[in-house]
Amino acid sequence: MGMTIAEKILAAHAGQEEASPGDLINARVDIALGNDITAPIAIKLFRQSGAAKVFDKDRVVLVPDHFTPTKDINSAMQVKMVRDFAREQELSHWYEGGDSGVEHALLPEKGIVGPGDLVIGADSHTCTYGGLGAFATGVGSTDLAAAMITGEVWLKVPESIKFVYKGKLRPHVEGKDLILHTIGDIGVDGALYMAMEFTGEVIDALPMAERLTMANMAIEAGGKAGIIAPDATTKEYADGRVIRKPVFYASDPDAQYAKVIEYDVSDLEPQVAFPHLPENTRPISQVGDVPIHQVIIGSCTNGRIEDMRSAARILTGNKADKNVRLIVIPATPQIYRQAMEEGLFDIFLSAGAVISPPTCGPCLGGHMGILAAGERAVATTNRNFVGRMGHVESEVYLANPAVAAASAIAGKIAGPDDI
């Protein structure tokens, strides 16, 4: 019997010829990742175990990004613990300050993750790397601690759902809209503990940034992983960048899926996810009149240079509404520099935006853009749960960068065609 791409990667890392849904495996990890919130817990457990050294100083990656630049004493102490551990262990991949950025944008950019990898991270959006053809999944800090010691992770092989996207996307419709539409269709538990395999002619035409966006939000449908088979686009991105030799896996023609779901997205509009779940999606034409107070363009979902350009195209020659706070957050220093060199910062500043250093900040309600009671934000982030970006009586609406930029100008949720 054939195997899916997810099953092939897991079998290879478990040293097995094959793997089937439901199998319990111990698998070798290529990368174990932690951040400034999750790594301190893992480090404490590492110490309690009596371990002296991580399994491989080149494969444990620590990136403070959630509360950085550190916002208070507690966050400073968290980062100090991680920093001290990274120096003690002589980790090759410790990133801070001008070398750091939002982890799930930083690791692909630096080639730390690549096609065929098995990546675990103590952050639910570790699934981002599936856009490169890796099996990547979020784990708890206890699992991270165990992986830092042993280099292995215990997993149950998931079933896979195959999503096939047909047609041709309309202008201003992006990977973010594909995944929001999908989550709106199947629900936030529609792929619970499953690998979401994204395929079809529309996926084949997507640039890498939008593939990473789609894989990033697999967890919002309950997915264990989101994955796209690597192809020529992946090879172009990986060549000269990926540290380890990439392995290109593909699903067999006779691979078994829990289900296959097909979409013709030729008429798909930009999508907006209403509070308080990513499944509450509506096409932009059915949004109605929703005044807003803040717009966030950034995050591990949509903080890449392509997202900056998408927003800048809409903002050129326009200003944000006087009642809207527009915050732009390039996800890494390289993206920050590139946006600056391309003149995007001039566009953002002329539009009245605040440009933040790379941080997860507002996405998790941490800092750099917290909402007060009664305030609404349009964000290119990935979650809009109650209180996600601040007060429990605030609201977050999820959208792509073009819609976010148009909404900033309009002072209410709006599409690019409205500007």
Tally the residues of the chain: 419
Q: Is 127 marked as binding a ligand?
A: no
Residue with tokens 């897991």: 10
Residue with tokens 């103590």: 122
Q: Is 300 marked as binding a ligand?
A: yes
Task: Identify residue 277 by its one-letter amino acid code.
Answer: L
**CA distances for 65 relative to 38, 61, 114, 377, 406, angstroms:** 11, 12, 21, 21, 28
**What value, to the nearest 5°, has the Cα angle with vertex 107 and ends 96 and 17?**
140
Q: Name the phi and psi angles at 283, rounded to 5.
A: -65, 155
Q: Name the phi and psi angles at 72, rounded to 5.
A: -160, 180
Q: Is 337 strand, coil or helix?
A: helix
How many CB atoms neighbour CB 51 within 10 A? Answer: 15
Alpha helices for 172-241 (secondary structure H): 175-186, 201-204, 208-216, 232-238
Task: Identify residue 146 by its one-letter amino acid code.
Answer: A
**Closest to 301 in 3D by CA, of 364, 221, 233, 217:** 217
CA distance 417 to 419: 5
**Closest to 292 in 3D by CA, of 305, 310, 274:** 274
Q: Environment class of residue 373 by beta-carbon count within 10 Å: exposed (0-12), middle (13-18) or buried (19+)?
A: exposed
Q: For residue 156, what are the β-bridge partners?
A: 24
Contact call for residues 197 and 5 (beta carbons, < 8 A)? yes
| Widest Cα–Cα separation across the chain | 61
**Binding site feature residues for [4Fe-4S] cluster:** 300, 360, 363
**Binding site feature residues:** 300, 360, 363
